[in-house]
Amino acid sequence: MGKIACVALVRNEEKHIAEWLAWQFLIGFDTVLLLDNRSTDNTAALASTFASRWDIRVVDWPMRTPDYQTRAYDHAISLLKAEFEWMAFFDTDEFLVLDSGLELKTLLNARPESAIAIPWALFGSSGHRDKPDGLVIENFLHRAAADFPPNRQVKSIIRPGHTSGPLNPHAFEVQGYYVDILGRFLAWSNAGTLHAPPTYEGAKLHHYFTRSHAHWLEKLERGYPDRTRAESDFTDFDRNEVFDDSAMRYAAPLRAELAPPMKASLPPLPSALRLGIAITTFNRRELVVDLAAKIRALTAGPYELVVCDDGSTDGTAQALRAMGVRVISGTNRGIAWNKNRGIYYLLHVAQCDVIILLDDDIVPVTPGWEAEWIEAAWRYGHVNHAHPAYKNSLVAGALTAADPGLASTIPGWALAFSRFLLADIGYMDVRFGRYGHEHSDLSFRALRTGHGGITVQEATGQTALFYVIGGGLQGVPSVTSGTEAELEANGRLLMELGAEPVYRHAWRDDGQMRAFLTEIAKAAPGAFTPIILRQNDFASLEAYRHAQSPASPEHPADDGNISHGKPLTQSPMPADTPWWQIDLGGFATIREIHIHAAPGEDFSLGVSIDGDSWVEIACARNAPPPFIWAGPGTAWARFVRVTLLGRDYLHLDQLEVFGAMTHPGGAL
């Protein structure tokens, strides 16, 4: 059986798109393609948050002419016809419901015809005036009888290679037969409309057309390019004669699909973690003194506080030291260097487990504010602040450590890291100099190691979404010393540095290293000797550059072949999609995978923590052997699988996995 896709044209559906998407994958679709028709809400971004679990592709379709839908379907066919055996064309208020015991791929595999028509079963409001909480399939359980005239309309599942295009949004011109899901021939009154009321044996398309009256008003506000609807139409379509709970059997698995994925790679939260807080400031004495006082008043647990003063001339350092606050100061070198002072001190001198970086114009307002930051940083490696000024970039989440938000853009007022992540990514890149984007670069580098957010694949490329929390903080009015020119220059630099190695040190040459460590030594209590942790502190710039040079394909950096001697299994034969799979015997951080296959093989590379749920990390088409995956970032998994793309035999000579075992035996 080849792959099957579902295509939908969407506009401002953020409130319901998650349930509809989960439904498609639950009933058996491999891929969903969304054609975004000028949404002004977070429909596309929210859909993309699920792309780490499901193959969801989002394509802009701005056309608003009367034929916008048929032309969108034509475009979808041109994009997908070479990849998919079947394509369905449903709207996001339409849910395909099969009779109990039937399975979509099995049904399609049995059909030699060119197109399948699924009749509407139009559902009403079930008496809801306002929007009810919960799932659509749970709230709307009453529909029109089969003889209600709109139910004669169908939607289609077609073989894209057998069509010359849509006749209308309901039916397609095909080279072959149109049948129902069980293979029975159909009688038409016109294209897409049955001659007689439908029989619902086999399958029907639950069309939640009205939903509640409040939903209907929203539908009218979105509008249609090809027709006009009125509020009075609600009465005509609000039909509730037949009780139908046939979709309810999917409610429990649907909720499970919608639940946030369990983060199996999260380290356990120890009973006590050492917290470090670093404040960065420059010539804003009143702000930073007030912030230090609020931290003392509202922080419930123990912590280490240090203020990094970037050469202030307004008495900042003296005022803070009079309060008993530790200050690291030096020549004015810019935000990146100044934040590195705090990171280095708290990581190497105070040896903290979690480090929170605060600008001087954001303050805690909630007692015990630090608890959310400690948990979130430890759980996810890195987390940013959900500042209200960036609310339009939020696409999901409750902004808590248990359910962090996901945001496409991030401010730099507050951010936190675990010591493990900082050991992997290092410090702010001091090439960013005075002002702007240094925090973004650090967050992107965290993402490349698999922490601090997710990367989703869209039709136009990859999109980064970062974990954010509220964290009991609030911004205060301030005036920046940075300039727009500095911000613009650093924005260009951000793009340029994206391909460099993830780890950056706090300096760029030996002179900077000596100056930096001298500043740290002056602030440290007693005699200070730089602490060497792992391989990320270096005696010289030459040693630093050598350690950060890209690994060669033959010799991954310091990583052994953790696949050596591990069991390799393959799919039962014959198989529609042959695969080879290796069990590493426990959870591992994977940095490189080498695939030695026959020339010209097309295959997908996936990883899994349990052997059931898989994430594709690479796709190779006609790649010369050996194929080498080396990021970006690392993968965290127990199982590695190579799956053939197409119907043939997979000629695999060797599969090698390089990295480090983190939990041998698979136990966390």
Name the region of 541 (left: φ>0; alpha: ψ -120 to 50; beta: rest). alpha
The answer to whether 4-258 and 275-548 have equal CATH topology is yes
- In this predicted structure, what is the pLDDT of residue 457? 57
Determine the Cα–Cα distance for residues 423 and 403; give it in Å rounded to an integer.
Answer: 25
Q: Residue 273: is its pLDDT beyond 80?
A: yes
Q: Residue 54: is its pLDDT beyond 90?
A: no
- Tell me which range, 51-60, 262-271, 305-314, 439-448, is most confidently predicted by mean pLDDT: 305-314
- In this predicted structure, what is the pLDDT of residue 553? 38
Return the CATH number of the domain spanning residue range 560-664: 2.60.120.260
- In this predicted structure, what is the pLDDT of residue 514? 83
Give me 72's structure tokens.
Answer: 């969108």
- In this predicted structure, what is the pLDDT of residue 481? 66
Q: Which residues pair with 120 in a beta bridge?
A: 205
- In this predicted structure, what is the pLDDT of residue 282? 93
Statement: the pTM of the whole predicted model exceeds 0.85: no
The vertex-324 CA angle with 323 and 325, nearest 5°, equals 95
Long-range contacts of residues 544-552, Cβ cutoff 8 Å, at least 24 apart: 544/505, 548/501, 548/503, 549/501, 550/501, 551/592, 551/630
Spatial CA neighbour of 7 closest among 216, 122, 169: 169
Amino acid at 281: T
Determine the Cα–Cα distance for residues 602 and 605; give it in Å rounded to an integer.
Answer: 10
Determine the Cα–Cα distance for residues 339 and 442; give it in Å rounded to an integer.
Answer: 11
Q: Residue 468: is its pLDDT beyond 90?
A: yes
Confidence of residue 668 (pLDDT cuts 50, 70, 90): very low
Confidence of residue 264 (pLDDT cuts 50, 70, 90): very low
Spatial CA neighbour of 156 closest among 113, 122, 195, 127: 113
CATH number for domain 4-258, candidates 2.30.30, 3.10.450, 3.90.550, 3.80.10: 3.90.550
State pLDDT tens for residues 84-141.
999 999 999 999 999 999 999 999 999 999 999 999 999 999 999 998 888 999 999 9
Q: Residue 648: is its pLDDT beyond 70?
A: no
State pLDDT tens for residues 323-337.
999 999 999 998 999
Place of tokens 């953790």: 562
- In this predicted structure, what is the pLDDT of residue 612? 79
State pLDDT tens for residues 554-605.
333 344 788 887 888 887 766 677 888 999 988 788 888 888 876 777 888 8
State pLDDT tens for residues 150-209.
999 999 999 999 999 999 999 999 999 999 999 999 999 999 999 999 999 999 999 999
Spatial CA neighbour of 263 closest among 403, 465, 464, 417: 403
CB 269 within 8 A of CB 378: yes
Segment 540-564 shows an average pLDDT of: 51
Q: Residue 65: is its pLDDT beyond 80?
A: yes
| Percent of the chain at pLDDT exceeding 70 | 87
Beta-sheet pairing, 31-36 with 55-60: parallel
The superfamily CATH assigns to domain 275-548 is Spore Coat Polysaccharide Biosynthesis Protein SpsA; Chain A (3.90.550.10)
User: Would you list the domain boundaries of the chain?
Assistant: 4-258, 275-548, 560-664
Segment 351-362 shows an average pLDDT of: 94
574 sits in which H/E element: none
Segment 456-471 shows an average pLDDT of: 76
